[in-house]
Structure 1
């Protein structure tokens, strides 16, 4: 069963026998993030398939920039990159790997280009707070990197090879085998790019821009009995990125990162009760080289041991109780940062009650208490409601309180760490209106958010920077998406277009935050006919301030970029394709002074077994 079909089954909660039927109907597909199917019942979640991800195959930043509502600021292609949801910062975005929060213990965020891109079965993007389920940092939104395991499909394999401009090469292979009780899947990816592009009209050369990375993914699942399934998913990621320099004789630097993630799950499903017990280990290592071929200048190792239990009890078919308990043991060891073997215990208990009084109305209420060692954590809550008025209109409402506790750098960095920091908190609400007519679906989501105790690093009279709880931020805006899908004969046409308006201001100064564009418009068009597939992507990004005083002089001007690609599949096994990125040859930046590539090309071949 495909993931789309599994979701259709799950979302059919209006039927009174849904809760008893889901275990038997979706058992041909094991999904590691068991909460996501419940999240989709009440929240808008954008799903990107493995095929969608391949359209922007050079890095995760490009996928999110062109195919999601997230604003990505990238210090040149493949370099340091961070996301922004609804006018928030990278620290207020949660990266979630198979249901586990993987934000850096040191930085409190994820570097987008140091997170593996390949090997996932789907990527899901959720705007809005989700701390009750996904923990610290899920304030502006969350990005979910998911794997699944199928049963009863036998052996499948794929080899993909791609070459492109700037000496960019990628090789990807994956294979799977499964029967009625056992499932196994593995994949490997290697990506390298000299990344030595030029933007002549701006007199810009991306010197020292080389990057390369390797990823391995392994997943397996075994049905011990009809009610019990044991599963394991692991990922190994190794990356090096050189940091661009502006002068030919400038000092070359680089950054290396190694990541290990391993997740063991035991799922039990029986009539009214289901339970998912997970244990996980994550490790992040990094080294910064101030001189590229010299010993490292700084670095660190972060280890996280996690136990998480997700218990569901169906009191009656219309009423579901969900209790989530989690414990983490965080360990951090820095190099040349003053962070020496720090430990932290983090626990949480959350309860959610879901009520479906009729086929048209549903509610969810949640409450959560975190227990962070040496930090007083707020009581969190969430409320969601959905009303299906008729066939062509439905609406949903979400209200939540979310938070982020200080990272190891915020607390312990020498000099500048501050042990007296409080967690950031946010209150927010959004309302989604969904209208359907013919083959069109329009979703409009106005939202409002207020963030208190935002952690900022500011200069001190002693001559160094330090972390403080200072800023209050107010953000409001609109997210909208128009979808058109039509199938006739052998033709298949799909259009997804979105417009985003974001007003995010410092409450004290009433000025727009840095790197938050007021307007973003994106569109993705796919057309398929028999063996032929064609796609096009368009992105308009509005004026973006890069300074706190809204200086127009230093702002990033609006830009418009178009990508396109085509592929042909022969005998259902062999696919040949080509892409053209930045057809408009636009000279544009997402971070001041660092230009992105102009028109560039790639070709690829895929073999399916």
Structure 2
């Protein structure tokens, strides 16, 4: 018993900790995505706290642009937005909510600005393939939106209100209560912006750019026994985006979306065996209004029913086996003049197994295999291998190799006219090698990677007056992701934190030998935080290199390099009251991430937070 208690105090880097600490972890906090703890043992992640997210409170696009290696192309502030991860497309990035893949079944991707920003306890960005665990679309990387529930914390709450440029008002409230058996958390957010910014240098006014959204999150957990927990997490989101127009008398259109997600989990944990049984329901509705004062002209309803079981067994302290089974039914229905007529559905199942070997506290390996069963689509056998070796106190090596995939979306298969039901899934082979160096309070990570994608799905002109998707391109992507971090506490009064990242991404269409569009060769971002007693200052910088917007690498239409900087200052009084000011785009840079849609120049916000 003494040995067991001692081992639970070891760091998570030790394999013995995983084996002996499972019972204790459930007494402290319940994490809805139980796989993330295992993923962190073999992969490097960028982790953003709720405070980090607050720095870029306009939308999720801003958070990822300034605090991750992902390139974000955005059709104006708050409008349609999509990611590029390691030179891949938006469809090759998986968005994962509490362990559940939430990419749209219609588009096969996540519209970033129609994914709520607030209400998560943590956001994690994982580069590289992850289809063995997180399914279709996890090719370039995955973005994880996580919630947790703590026990024995009593009552606590928070209210934050922000007023910003362009008629922007943002309010967020959160409250939580827990004792030794019961935990409850609720949060809500309301954001509205007239979004009528101007960029005189480009003769641009963001006309008809108004957007607003509201979010409600509810989570609860109850211990039915010392090693068993029943938990529920739900998410409700409602949003409207007006689409910007270029002339005063242009046709004003808008897009409305509603999202419902509900996840029920039954978790059993003891010293050798754990099992997580999840049942989830997700629904995404959208309506497009060709004239924002009239009835909708097109739209869609997507419903997903998900059942997932995750079984984990330690054979002994060195060997661990993990079996994951999942079944989904995806349903879609086109509305109005949508290209999908009537209702469509498909059944999707998968079985995965992972074997982990902890040779020593400093050397471990993981091998995984997965077979998906997608109705009417032949799916490839997927696999993954990871190894991590801590050579000494200052150097660690992590090697990853995997095969990943994305199956066609409902639009790819059933759009009228043009849907192609003979499409094959996109597949990729990828490898990366992470070198981690630690010297004092500095940590440097260098991650060269290589990826080859086959059967990429592209929509091409058929010559018959419409476009249709085909398996065409082969893409080769290689480059480097790197991150330097530093964190130091001085005399208990001063603290400094620095995170800086640089990415080089070469992503080539092998048929044309040209760089893919909207994949910058170079991207640099940095975040610096300094705190002295009750004062806190932070600054963000982002450099984006030359970015082609056409497939022929035309520099005439390319987005040229730019640098943008943000900064903020806050002061905390009587421990519970905080006032802050932020200045975005201090450099007053004229820049865009999507051709013809400049983003705002210098703008401001003030915010107040009450903790209770």
Match of 1:508 in 2: 511
Aligned to 1:353: 355
Residue number in structure 2 paired with 1:38: 38
State the distance in 2 between where 1:271 and 1:26 align: 11
- Give the C-alpha shift of residue 291 in structure 1: 1.1
Do the aligned residues in 2 keep the contact of 1:17 with 1:317 (CA within 8 Å)?
no
Does 1:365 find its partner at 2:381? no
Q: Secondary structure at the match of 2:359?
A: coil
2:3 aligned partner: none
Which residue among 587, 602, 606 is the counterpart of 2:605?
A: 602
Choose from 396, 399, 409 the match for 1:397. Answer: 399
For 1:467 and 1:9, locate their aligned partners in 2 and report how far apart those are by CA, in whole Å: 54
Q: 1:10 Cα deviation (Å)?
A: 8.8
Offset at residue 565 of structure 1 (A): 0.2
Residue in 2 aligned with 1:541? 544
- Match 1:386 to one of 379, 385, 388: 388
> Is the 2:268–2:275 Cα contact (8 Å) retained in structure 1?
yes
Q: Does 1:498 align with 2:501?
A: yes
The equivalent position to 1:522 in structure 2, one of 517, 522, 525, is 525
Contact 2:10 2:17 in 1 (8 A): no
Equivalent-residue separation in structure 2 for 1:350 and 1:27 (angstroms): 28
Q: Which residue of 2 aligns with 1:156?
A: 156
Q: Counterpart of 2:53 in 1: which secondary structure? A: helix
d(CA) in 2 for partners of 1:339 and 1:19? 52
Mapped to 1, the partners of 2:207 and 2:192 lie a distance apart of 16
SS of equivalent to 1:64: helix
SS in 1 for 2:225: coil
Distance 1:209 1:18 in 2: 49
- Using the alignment, how far apart are the partners of 1:534 and 1:416 within structure 2? 53
The answer to whether 1:558 aligns with 2:561 is: yes
Please give the alpha-carbon distance, in whole angstroms, between the structure 2 residues aligned to 1:245 and 1:546. 20
Hey, what does 1:220 align to over in structure 2?
Answer: 220
Residues 1:444 and 2:430 are matched in the alignment: no
Aligned equivalent of 1:5: none
In the alignment, the residues of structure 2 paired with residue 189 and residue 308 of structure 1 have an alpha-carbon distance, to the nearest angstrom, of 29
In 2, the alpha carbon distance for the partners of 1:416 and 1:467 equals 7
Match of 1:303? 303
Q: Is the 8 Å Cα contact of residues 383 and 400 (structure 1) preserved in structure 2?
A: yes
Does the CA contact (< 8 Å) of 2:31 and 2:148 recur in 1? yes
1:261 and 2:264 are equivalent in the alignment: no
C-alpha deviation, 1:17, in angstroms: 5.5
CA contact (8 A) 2:94 2:137 kept: yes
Q: Once superposed, what is the RMSD of the aligned Cα atoms?
A: 1.0
Task: Map Cα deviations across residues 66-103 of structure 1 (whole Å, 9 max, x no partner).
Answer: 00000000000000000010000000000000000000
389-398 or 333-342, which deviates more: 333-342
1:297 CA displacement:
1.3
Q: Deviations over 1:124-145 (max 9, x none)?
A: 0000000000000000000000
Question: Offset of 1:349 from its aligned partner?
Answer: 0.2
* 1:568 corresponds to: 571
Q: Distance in 2 between matches of 1:26 and 1:252?
A: 52
Show the counterpart of 2:460.
458
Query: In structure 2, how many angstroms separate the alpha carbons of the residues matched to 1:324 and 1:193?
Result: 43
Instruction: Please name the residue that 2:4 is paired with.
Output: none
What secondary structure, in the 3-state scheme, does the structure 2 residue paired with 1:381 have?
strand
1:222-256 deviations in Å (ceiling 9; x for gaps) = 00001110000000000000010000101111000
CA apart distance, 1:266: 0.2
Runs of 5+ consecutive residues of structure 1 not aligned to the other structure? 1-7
Stretch deviating more after TM superposition (554-563 or 24-33): 24-33
Report the Cα distance in structure 2 between the residues aligned to 1:178 and 1:312, rounded to whole angstroms.
27
Cα-to-partner distance string for 1:501-553 (whole Å, 9 max, x where unaligned):
00001001110000000000000000011111110000000000000000000
- Indicate the residue corresponding to 1:486 in structure 2: 488
What's the CA shift for 1:24?
1.4
In the alignment, the residues of structure 2 paired with residue 359 and residue 280 of structure 1 have an alpha-carbon distance, to the nearest angstrom, of: 36
Equivalent-residue separation in structure 2 for 1:204 and 1:394 (angstroms): 49
Give the secondary-structure state (helix, strand or coil) at the position aligned to 1:471: coil
Q: Deviations over 1:434-486 (max 9, x none)?
A: 00111110000000000000000010021100010001100000000000111
Alignment check: 8 A CA contact 2:340 2:411 kept:
no
The yes-or-no answer on 1:340 pairing with 2:357 is no
Matched, 1:577 2:612: no
CA distance in 1: counterparts of 2:405 and 2:306, whole angstroms: 19
Inter-CA distance 518–586: structure 2 relative to 1 (3 Å threshold)? same
Distance 1:10 1:472, change over 3 A: farther
What is residue 60 of structure 2 aligned with on the other side?
A: 60
1:149-174 deviation per Cα after TM superposition (whole angstroms, max 9, x unaligned): 00001000111100010000011111
Conserved? CA contact 1:94–1:109, under 8 Å: yes
Aligned to 1:118: 118
Contact 2:15 2:358 in 1 (8 A): no
Distance 2:324 2:427 in 1: 21
Question: For 2:454 and 2:23, how far apart are their aligned partners in 1?
Answer: 42
Measure, in 1, the Cα distance between the counterparts of 2:591 and 2:226: 55
Shift in CA distance, 448/115, structure 1 to aligned 2, threshold 3 Å = same
2:411 maps to 409
Aligned: 1:238 with 2:256: no
Contact 1:167 1:193 in 2 (8 A): yes
- The Cα shift of 1:25 comes to 3.9
CA distance in 2: counterparts of 1:191 and 1:271, whole angstroms? 45
Distance 2:398 2:611 in 1: 41
Name the count of aligned residue pairs: 602
Q: Secondary structure of the residue that 1:76 maps to in structure 2?
A: coil
Contact in 1 for aligned 2:186/2:217 (Cα 8 Å): yes
Q: Which moved more, 1:114-123 or 1:22-31?
A: 22-31
CA contact 2:15–2:360 (8 Å) conserved in 1? no
Q: Are 2:11 and 2:17, in contact at CA under 8 Å, matched by a contact in 1?
A: no
C-alpha distance in structure 1 between counterparts of 2:18 and 2:458, whole Å: 47
Q: Is the 8 Å Cα contact of residues 9 and 26 (structure 1) preserved in structure 2?
A: no
Structure 2 unaligned regions, length at least 5: 1-7
CA contact 2:162–2:607 (8 Å) conserved in 1: yes
The alignment's TM-score, normalised by the length of structure 2, stands at 0.97
Compute the TM-score of the two structures, normalised by the length of structure 1.
Answer: 0.98
Tell me what 2:474 maps to. Answer: 472
Q: Matches of 2:296 and 2:475 in 1, distance apart?
A: 37
